Amino acid sequence: MAATWLNDAVFYEIYPQSFYDTNGDGIGDLNGIIEKLDYVKALGCNALWINPCFDSPFKDAGYDVRDYKLVAPRYGTNDDLIRLFKEAHARGMHVLLDLVPGHTSEEHEWFRMSQKAEKNEYSGRFIWTNFVFQPAKGLPFISGESERSGAYILNFFKCQPALNYGFLHPTEDWQQPIDSPDAIATREAIKDIMRFWLDRGADGFRVDMAASLVKFDDEKSTGTSAFWRNVREMLDSEYPEAAMVSEWSNPKLALRAGYDMDFYLAFRDGGYNSLMRDYLRAQHDPSADPTDNSYFRKDSTHDINPFLDEYLDWYEDTKDIGHISMLTCNHDTLRPRYNLTPDEMKLAYALIFTLPGVPYLYYGDEIGMRYLDLPTKEGGYHRTGSRTPMQWSSGKNLGFSEGAAEDLYLPVDPSDDAPTVEAQEKDPDSLYNVTKALLRLRGECADLQAKGSLEILAREAGKPFVYRRGALTLAINPAGECMEAPVEVSGEIVYAIGAVSIADGKLAMGPQSFVVIR
Ligand code: NOJ
């Protein structure tokens, strides 16, 4: 773990399409992000993760990169991005770009070249079988679209051919080992892209599908981990303050592979689901358990233990080597407002922002933006509903854009009570103001930051959850009734949500409450 600025970092994820449009074309832009930096800073976030903002045909919202070194014209220019880095740094903020190393767009020049029948420098940049009718040993493939006779492997959607990082144990002659010249050339090409943006002021990268590189990797991701350790060596020697966060959701592997942070994500049966959402039910999955609901719901049938069992196992194993990153949600998941009320969300954020590690807030979650039921846009499918324009004010297009409503990237929330920043700033009890207060507290108390210790004091079902961070004792009661903490607590209340009192070592917690005690 190298970057020293992460200990007090709180990230704000920006989906650039939908944040703030300054030229009236209906789509967000980099100048819009620059204009809102003061807003993000005032909220209490001091770092950004921006989803891919590079040239792309946008069949997967930019995760299909056509040119890694060119800002997509719809967002602005490379100079605008460089200005964004400078403006962020002037405010003491940091910016992570989104690096997509597993695949390119099928329109990327490397892929076009690799489709040619004649052998060239890029013939081995992607994974191809030897012959158009030769399938790819269980990997998804496409054939019949290229001049070259062969099938190429996909990494995600059809538009995303897999870059070639080799195979851990090649068994076919078209599978190259991880130390083959082609696999190494791909690795060096990715490092070249990283250097390009780091030299221009980027502070690091969120890495897409970080575990997906080497094929038929073993359980320990031996090949892919070796790749990332090689990248880490480059960063340590050339850019020691650069930070990397992985979309891996396996911190035991990711942090040992050289990542500073790994996201704690919503996989089907993971602890995150029981903590935050009705993930299966929301996707209309018939196998959903009717009791599958978030711990933070007033009527929840869950206790905190399924989450803690997974989280603590990961935390204890990795706390000395890197950070687990909790998120409010991201551009791929349902917004927390989907199944939580704003009062329930306050408690969810209270936990997310007071656990160790480096937290991430998805734009709009600070005001409880809704998940909207919308047709797919740019390969979003059910994810589209979490990608709608930021709701700034009661003005035209809720302050997102001066453009015509029909030109917007996605429609704004049409409901009469669509939450906005403008309205919530004025309401001291709003989710926005609670989020801000929680982040201020975290910023002021070193004990609450990434590296501070964590000790669990009480985790019994049906009782408040009580934990300790350094000199602070914290407790959460998400239930709709009063409860007494099952452990003795004393000290001064420094922050509370809901009604909380301490007398003679007894902590009484009102319905839906949270407290920080020093
Ligand atoms: C994960 C990204 O978060 C998602 O939006 C994208 O569709 C896939 N990776 C493919 O790049």
Note whether 67 and 107 are same-domain residues.
no
pLDDT attached to residue 347 = 98
386 inside domain? yes
pLDDT attached to residue 492 = 97
Note whether 286 and 368 are same-domain residues.
yes
Mean pLDDT score, 178-206: 98
pLDDT attached to residue 274 = 81
Atom 11 of ligand 1, residue of closest alpha carbon: 63
Note whether 82 and 140 are same-domain residues.
no
CA distance from start to end of the chain: 30
pLDDT category at 292 given cuts 50, 70, 90 is low
Note whether 278 and 423 are same-domain residues.
yes
Quick: pLDDT tens for 316-342: 999 999 999 999 999 999 899 998 999
Ligand 1 test: best mutation among 262, 332, 376, most atoms within 8 Å of CB? Answer: 332
Note whether 272 and 417 are same-domain residues.
yes
Q: How far is the CA of 344 from the centre of ligand 1 (A)?
A: 28
Q: Is pLDDT at 278 greater than 80 in this prediction?
A: no
Tell me if 211 CB under 6 Å of ligand 1.
no
pLDDT attached to residue 301 = 83
Residue 221 contacts residue 235 (beta carbons within 8 Å): no
| CATH assignment of the domain containing 143 | 3.90.400.10
Average pLDDT, the chain: 96
How many structural domains comprise the chain? 3
Note whether 414 and 457 are same-domain residues.
no
Note whether 384 and 470 are same-domain residues.
no
Quick: pLDDT tens for 468-510: 999 999 999 999 999 999 999 999 999 999 999 999 999 999 9
Mean pLDDT score, 204-219: 97
Domain of residue 132 covers 103-162
Ligand 1 test: best mutation among 68, 100, 156, 163, most atoms within 8 Å of CB? Answer: 156
Q: Is pLDDT at 283 greater than 80 in this prediction?
A: no
Note whether 313 and 441 are same-domain residues.
yes
Which is the closest atom of ligand 1 to the Cα of 330? 3
Which residue in this structure is represented by tokens 């130390």? 179
Q: Is pLDDT at 273 greater than 90 in this prediction?
A: no
Atom 8 of ligand 1, residue of closest alpha carbon: 63
pTM given for the model: 0.97
| CATH assignment of the domain containing 505 | 2.60.40.1180
206 inside domain? no
| CATH assignment of the domain containing 374 | 3.20.20.80
pLDDT attached to residue 422 = 98
Which is the closest atom of ligand 1 to the Cα of 103? 11
Tell me if 58 CB under 6 Å of ligand 1.
no
HSE-up of 332 (CA within 13 Å, CB side)? Answer: 11
Quick: pLDDT tens for 83-111: 999 999 999 999 999 999 999 999 999 99
Structure tokens at 511: 């319905």
Q: Which of 162, 185, 206 is the last residue of a domain?
A: 162
Query: Cα separation of 408 and 396, whole Å?
Result: 12
CA distances (Å), 304 to each of 293, 347, 348, 414, 462, in order? 12, 13, 12, 35, 10
- List b or e across 473-502, with b for residues whose CB sees 16 or more CB atoms inside 10 angstroms: bbbbbbbeeebebebebeeeeebbbbebeb
Tell me if 106 CB under 6 Å of ligand 1.
no
182 inside domain? no
pLDDT attached to residue 281 = 67
Quickly list DSSP for 132-167. TT---TTS-EEESSSSSSSEEEBSSSTT-BBB---B
Mean pLDDT score, 251-266: 94
pLDDT attached to residue 315 = 97
28 inside domain? yes
378 inside domain? yes
Q: Is pLDDT at 1 greater than 60 in this prediction?
A: no
Determine how β-strand 151-153 pairs with β-strand 67-71: unpaired
| Structure-model confidence comparison of residues 15 and 277, the more confident one | 15
Q: Which 3-state string (H, E, C) describes 390-410?
A: CCCCCCHHHHCCCCCHHHCCC
Instruction: Among 201-215, 233-247, 259-273, name the one with the lowest average pLDDT.
Output: 259-273
pLDDT category at 275 given cuts 50, 70, 90 is confident
Note whether 440 and 459 are same-domain residues.
no
Ligand 1 test: best mutation among 13, 60, 98, 377, most atoms within 8 Å of CB? Answer: 60
pLDDT category at 272 given cuts 50, 70, 90 is confident
What angle is formed at CA 360 by the lines to CA 358 and CA 364, rounded to 5 degrees? 160
220 inside domain? no
Tell me if 310 CB under 6 Å of ligand 1.
no
Note whether 21 and 67 are same-domain residues.
yes
Ligand 1 test: best mutation among 17, 63, 97, most atoms within 8 Å of CB? Answer: 63
Q: How far is the CA of 356 from the centre of ligand 1 (A)?
A: 26
Which is the closest atom of ligand 1 to the Cα of 383? 5
Ligand 1 test: best mutation among 18, 105, 208, most atoms within 8 Å of CB? Answer: 208
pLDDT category at 266 given cuts 50, 70, 90 is low
Quick: pLDDT tens for 157-186: 999 999 999 999 999 999 999 999 999 999
Tell me if 63 CB under 6 Å of ligand 1.
yes
Tell me if 60 CB under 6 Å of ligand 1.
yes
Note whether 40 and 84 are same-domain residues.
yes
233 inside domain? no
pLDDT category at 282 given cuts 50, 70, 90 is low
Note whether 288 and 409 are same-domain residues.
yes
Q: Which helix (H) or strand (E) holds 469?
A: strand 465-469
Tell me if 378 CB under 6 Å of ligand 1.
no
pLDDT category at 286 given cuts 50, 70, 90 is confident
pLDDT attached to residue 285 = 74
303 inside domain? yes
Q: Find the radius of gyration of the CA atoms of the chain.
A: 23
Q: Is pLDDT at 429 greater than 80 in this prediction?
A: yes
Q: Which of 140, 162, 184 is the last residue of a domain?
A: 162
Tell me if 263 CB under 6 Å of ligand 1.
no
Quick: pLDDT tens for 374-386: 999 999 999 999 9
pLDDT attached to residue 291 = 64
